[in-house]
Amino acid sequence: MKLWHETDDWESAQEELAAAGLTDGLPVVPPTSARVEQMLRLHGYDPDEVVTALPPAFGAATWKSIAINAVMAGCRPEYLPVVGAAVEALAADEFNLIGVATTTGSATPLVIVNGPIVKAIGMNAEGNALGPGNRANATIGRAVCLVLRNVGGAKPGELDMATLGQPGKYTFCLAENEAASPWTALHVERGFPATASIVTVVGAAGIVEVVDSYSHKGQDLAQTFAQSMLIAGNLGGNGCFGGGEPLIVLPPEHAETFNRDGYTKEKVKAEIYARATLPLDRISPAMLAKLDRNKDATREVIRVAQRPDDIMIIVAGGVGVKAAYVPTWGGTTRAVSRQIRRGKGVREN
């Protein structure tokens, strides 16, 4: 990718970058040598070090190419380690980036950040955490999408064949509100120390708002979430039902309702799993035939996941009882976590 000079005209740079197919349709920051070098120098990265080969085209994601896209996205230099860790996570086999990036569905990576780096770089885990207003959230998510496009080759109409797409293909990133959570944070739940800074990527198929300001018992709230997840159109090819790892983003008030009623995170998952069932008669015969469920005489319902532990839960957001259900891609994808590192193997703690 070309580096621009400080003296280059801003408008001309926009036109050239867009014409080269390197933007997401929004204006970008021209990736000048000075900007890219500043970003790399802060962390001591070797520009030519290959972080990973990134599907679907398996382009070499070097620190330099990641930094170029991070600059274009508007990232501050201190955000680069988060972008790099997310890119590394995307390439893991279990994430199945080839499927997520090339499907005709709307799947896109959702980036979740945990640990001390959240506060260090000023990420938003509170009100409007999935919305506008925070530079770190907005530009880290955008940088990951630009790397996927410009290094991984997932350009719309070429390898990215999404029928409609979704706004998350511009940017989809938040931090967990660990301070407001009564439970173990996501990264600790996934086996990392509480003091580690971790990125988790999820193959997200969209977002469904869940509103319940009336339920004050855990079992009632679990019922609301379970019923909000029963969307037959999410069955897809292999299906979110019985596959994938559906994500629930709980605001602190909902988390506290569960906690006050004696619900651990594991119990919340189990209660939702038990209730999130779709009767077979709610599914079209054609879809049933495709899923081959109609041959199983003992099966009366389709479940939202293979097991309770496959349901992911994080706490995020501010005041209010507006939650979110984030269905995962209807193909085969698993969430992947990576530790954020600075320089030549130095870990961010």
- pLDDT tens digits for range 279-329: 888 888 887 776 665 555 456 788 888 899 999 999 999 999 999 999 998
In Å, how far are 104, 157, 217 from 60, measured between CA atoms? 25, 22, 51
How many CB atoms within 10 Å of residue 220?
Answer: 13
pLDDT for 233: 66
Tell me the pLDDT tens digit for each residue of 144-188: 999 999 999 999 999 999 999 999 999 999 999 999 999 999 999
Helix (H, G, I), strand (E, B) or coil at 301: strand
At residue 189 the predicted structure's pLDDT band, cuts being 50, 70 and 90, is very high
Whether 70 contacts 143, CB under 8 Å: yes
Give me the sign of the Cα torsion angle 95, 101, 106, 108. Answer: positive
Mean pLDDT over the full length of the chain: 91
- Start-end of H helices in 20-116: 33-43, 63-73, 80-90, 97-102
Q: Which of 211, 232, 233, 234 is nearest to 221 (CA)?
A: 211
pLDDT in tens, 262-275: 999 999 999 999 99
* CA atoms of 200 and 217, how far apart (whole Å): 30
pTM of the model: 0.94
Q: Write phi, then psi, for 33 (nearest 5 degrees).
A: -55, -40
Q: Tens digit of pLDDT for each residue in 3-23?
A: 766 656 889 999 999 999 999
- With CA atoms as reference, report the closest residue to 336 among 161, 136, 199, 142: 199
SS3 100: helix
Percent of the chain scoring above 70 in pLDDT: 89
- Please state, as a whole number, how many other Cβ atoms lie within 10 Å of the Cβ of residue 115: 26
